[in-house]
A = this chain, B = another copy of it.
């Protein structure tokens, strides 16, 4: 039964279309919704809407749902629409009138947002851990191979001397910036929506602060209309953060795809990381790096989905927002997986010192020649032009 069940039955095609994949997608949210519902029930008890007994029973049943869900035995059917309905229906079935009280003082709108934000926060903390692990793997590479020279490139052309340490250090520094941005987006999301109802509050004196504290939110998001407006806005910020991190992964994967080409060969990956071809027996392909590279673009598409979908809409909830769930969830999964795979890559990356040194050809040192002249007192631009002429003549020979 739907929360809003009326005296007519929804057209079945319309029902299937509007529910969409929510009943599956929502599996990720069951536990978070139960936690938020428990905090909500505690507050209702505190302000006198629920008796002590009702409160206890609701919390016990919500714990039971969490348990069932962990064991894969809490199902959400198409007819339930989503996890929120499934949970209320479960409570009403097992507790009767008491179950019918759980929705007092809230709307599905603030309920969905509470569950999503709790979930986002946990995923971000997970991402933080994975970024730190990746940095550790990068550090190990630097400690082992940092001083090995490799060419530095600009315009995909040899430019000046670089090193394994300098190259890997760039990723480490990038991840430092990512951690700062992670904190910023975490803080943004860390606002409790509960008590904002469907965007226009609830005609009941709620203790919004107490629920927020209980759930570990840093603050209450006061304006109820803004709670709804911020729905896609926060999702967009989260997706931007994910593409921000995945850009670093894209960059380092692009580097490694070239640098592990046998023609360059600065780095190698173990055979067990490489896949083959259905037709060419000699092939060993860096699919793992290619998919890391490609994942950036997947997320870019999801970011665009969200940023385009939320615009030109009147204030207040629209069913369009239902389509925000999937892109963000997918993007979070992609982020966590990509960080793990990149860590695995760095933990297993080998440096071929000989190939690296062989690549350090003379033109890489042209700028040093300029600075030798500068140190002797020649002006930079003069020195530059003299060396340019020499280099040009060397090439023509």
Contacts and interface: CB of A to CB of B under 8 A. Distances in A.
Interface stretch (A58-66, A67-75, A98-106, A114-122): A98-106
Q: What's the interface size class on A, roughly?
A: 35 or more
Given A100-B379, A301-B327, A313-B312, A294 B320 contact: yes
Interface string A302-344: 1111111111111111111011000100000000010011001
A155 B287 contact: yes
Interface in A260-282: 261-264, 270-273, 275-282
B277 A294 contact: no
Nearest to A295: B323
A188 interface: yes
Interface string A118-162: 000000000000000000000000000000000011111111111
Interface string A28-65: 00000000000000000000010000000000000000
A24 to B, nearest CB: 13
A264 B263 CA distance: 9
Contact of A315 (B2, B167, B318, B322): B167
A296 B309 CA distance: 8
A180 to B, nearest CB: 7
Given A247-B236, A301-B302, A157 B273 contact: no
- Top 10 nearest A-B pairs by Cβ distance? A4-B276, A301-B305, A312-B312, A100-B381, A281-B388, A294-B320, A297-B309, A170-B225, A100-B379, A290-B319
